[in-house]
Amino acid sequence: MSRSTERPYYWVLPLIAMLTLITLYPIGVCIYNSLFHYTFLGGLPKFIGLGNYGYLIMRDSLFHSAALFSACYTLVGIAVEFLLGLVIALLLWEEFRGRNTIRALFMLPFILIPIAMAYGWRIMLHPSIGVINYLLGTVGLQQVNWLGSSWGAKTSVIMVEIWENAPFLVLFFSAGLSALATEPFEAARIDGASTWQVFRYITLPLLRPVLILATLFRVLDAYNKNFDIIGTLTGGGPGRATENLVVYTWNKAFLHLDMGYSATLAIVMLIIILVPGIFMIRATKLTA
Amino acid sequence: MTKIFKRMLLIFLLVTFLFPIYWIVAISFQRPIDILSGVPHFTFIPTIMNYINAIRKGSFPLYFGNSLVVACFTALTSLVISTPAAYSLARFKFRGKKMIGMWALATYMIPPLITLIPYYLLFSKFRLLNTLLAVILLHSVLVIPLVTWMMVGFISEIPRELEEAAVVDGCTRLQALAKITLPLVLPGLAATFIFSFMISWRELIYAVTVTGETTRTLPAAIYGFVSFRSIRWGELAAAGVLGLLPIVVLFSFSQKALIRGLTMGSLK
């Protein structure tokens, strides 16, 4: 049909513009800048080739600890979110009166503004006037210095991340569960399978594409978009306990105004996520 | 038996998840002496002073207005740029749907700093720092891949035969697009508009970096308060709650359409 090729070039232009401005230009400029020693305070940029990268890999221990915390934050957060999301979605699977309302209510932590919620958590986690410590005290448990201690801060930040994003998984898994055919389940029930067996051998395998896709989104988000939570709760502290790659790079760029090295960090962040990212995208394409 | 257990577990989880939201709303209605006393109050005498102070003192209306302008223009701009592109991807022979999906996913992988640093330098050179335009541009960059993907999905749902029939009847392709496709895709446009509005409204890292005193958006303003002046807990809570209202309203209106748009491509 010749109409399909009618003047496609005009239409393609916005696409190419978008591609360039959104993807190629930023990555290109970052790669370019990363080859220079370039700070806002230090005069003219000086070309140093891969010097920034060398320093980053070999001698920057702050990068190493930030990368470690990024990994920890992402992995622990997702593991717990996954479990919670799946459990809640399963609990919401069968119809009962008010189910849709309850499901909508579960969405709230996810759709509300992260910073407002993070601020709420900051009040709650306050060592003396916060409600969490108060509740711990009333049941006889020891109070925790949530945001002031290294482990407390790490736990708090991951906890808020889980709280905010498990609802997303509830939504995703619920949609996936409701799309499942009922025949396998009926057949299994007729054959006398136990709940656990049904779950393990029917529900999980059928849900695999959804699970993989959800994991992909969550991994990318937890890795990239945690500035709201960490910035509000701890700012990377105490010390550098909760400083992950995003916070570290942002500080380097906009507190220390080191444009060359922060570009290097950004590129390395991209490279780090590229491998698992591509791997997971392949996995979804194969099963979806 | 297990049914009761399941219900109770569900209620317990629901309460746990909703508790922080309840708490921040409660704080926004508490007097400072209640908030700052050694013990958190579960019963208290409510007051609306926090809301009054938050709106009157400081620049809350300014920040709210900034967020409104930025979110509206972001949604508008991204739709204007994305829809023609989405149309060509949805209609023409080359495998548009798959390509746009892959591209949208790929941009999702890119750390926000990769976009932020180059554009910050660009804005700095053109004296665009501390302007709303800078935030609008950055938010549009953030949102366009998703908007395009959603619009491709919505446009694909409209059979091209309708346009073909219009062209046969004497319209140009452009007229067919305007008179036939556009009205049909309007719900999709609305859902996409609301979606990008919400993303822009709650966005923090770009807003904080490129805005100044007069161009702060609401999230950026709250962030600034948190870093330096975390004393007026009640007012800050009130400001936070007020900032949440547009999102809650928009979400309850568009819930169904949004979820459909989001899960459309992935769960076919």
Q: Provide the pLDDT for residue B13.
A: 92
Determine whether the interchain pair B167/A3 forms a contact, defined as Cβ–Cβ distance below 8 Å.
yes
- B240 → chain A, closest CA residue: A116
Q: How far is CA A192 from CA A177, A182, A185, A186, B6, in A?
A: 21, 16, 11, 10, 21
Q: Going by C-beta distance under 8 Å and a sequence separation of 6 or more, which residues neighbour residue A105?
A: B14, B18
* Residues of A with Cβ-Cβ distance to B233 under 8 angstroms: 123
Structure tokens at A270: 């991209």
**Contact criterion met (CB < 8 Å) for A116 and B24:** yes
Round to whole Å and give the CA distance between B256 and B207. 29
What does the alpha-carbon distance between residue B143 and residue B141 come to, in Å, rounded to a whole number?
6
Nearest CA in chain A to B252: A104
Of B9, B23, B219, the CB nearest to A120: B23
- The residues facing A46 across adjacent strands are A37
For A77-121, what is each residue's pLDDT tens digit? 999 999 999 999 988 888 788 888 888 888 888 888 888 888 888
Of the candidates B20, B118, B241, which has its C-beta nearest A163's C-beta?
B20
d(CA A60, CA B251): 44
Q: What is the mean pLDDT of each run of 10 residues along chain B (268 residues)?
A: 84 91 87 74 79 80 91 94 84 70 85 94 90 93 90 84 79 74 85 91 92 88 69 79 85 69 51
Instruction: Give A-chain residues touching B3 at CB under 8 angstroms.
Output: none
B18: nearest CB among A108, A179, A249: A108
- Which residues touch A215 (CB under 8 Å, ≥6 apart)? A78, A82, A280
Q: Considering only alpha carbons, which residue of chain B is nearest residue A179?
A: B267
Cβ atoms B138, B115 nearer than 8 A: yes
3-state SS of chain B? CHHHHHHHHHHHHHHHHHHHHHHHHHHHCCCHHHHHCCCCCCCCCCCCHHHHHHHHCCCHHHHHHHHHHHHHHHHHHHHHHHHHHHHHHHHCCCCHHHHHHHHHHHHHHCCHHHHHHHHHHHHHHCCCCCCHHHHHHHHHHHHHHHHHHHHHHHHHCCCHHHHHHHHHCCCCHHHHHHHHHHHHHHHHHHHHHHHHHHHHHHCCHHHHHHCCCCCCCHHHHHHHHHHHCCCCHHHHHHHHHHHHHHHHHHHHHHHHHHHHHHHHCCCC
CA gap A182, A160 in Å, rounded: 36
Cβ distance A270 to B102 less than 8 Å, yes or no, reads no
The pLDDT of residue B264 is: 55
pLDDT at B230: 53
| Per-residue pLDDT, B69 | 94
Put simply, the answer to whether B110 touches A14 (Cβ < 8 Å) is: no
Q: Cβ contact (<8 Å) for B93 and A4?
A: yes
Tokens of residue A87, six digits: 């459990």
Cα(A257)–Cα(B147) distance, integer angstroms? 33
Q: What would you report as the CA-atom Rg of chain B, rounded to the nearest whole angstrom?
A: 23
Mean pLDDT by 10 residues, chain A (288 residues): 51 78 92 89 81 89 92 94 92 82 87 86 83 82 83 91 92 86 81 80 84 88 91 84 92 91 94 87 64
Residues of B in contact with A122 (CB under 8 A): 226, 230
* Residues A256 and A39 sit within 8 Å (Cβ to Cβ): yes
Helix (H, G, I), strand (E, B) or coil at A37: strand
Q: Which residue has 């609305």 as its token pair?
A: B190
Q: Taking CB atoms and an 8 Å limit, are A102 and B251 in contact across chains?
A: no
In angstroms, rounded to a whole number, what is the distance separating the alpha carbons of residues B138 and B70? 10
Helices of type H across chain A = 8-19, 25-34, 51-58, 61-91, 99-111, 114-124, 131-138, 150-178, 183-190, 195-198, 204-224, 227-233, 245-254, 259-287
Instruction: Report in angstroms the alpha-carbon separations of B22 from A127, A190, A280, B72.
Output: 19, 45, 37, 29
A265 in reach of chain B (CB within 8 A):
yes
Chain A residues with CB under 8 Å of B35 CB are 129
Task: Please tell me which residue of chain B has the smallest CA distance to A122.
Answer: B226
Q: State whether B113 and A262 contact (CB < 8 Å).
A: yes
Question: Is ipTM beyond 0.90?
Answer: no
Tokens of A5: 């090729």
CB atoms within 10 A of CB B76: 15
pLDDT at B258: 61
Q: Cβ contacts (< 8 Å) between A106 and chain B: which residues? A: 14, 17
What's the pLDDT at A5? 46
Instruction: Work out whether the CA dihedral A89, A76, B237, A255 comes out positive or negative.
Output: negative
- HSE value, Cβ hemisphere, 13 Å, CA-based, for A141: 9
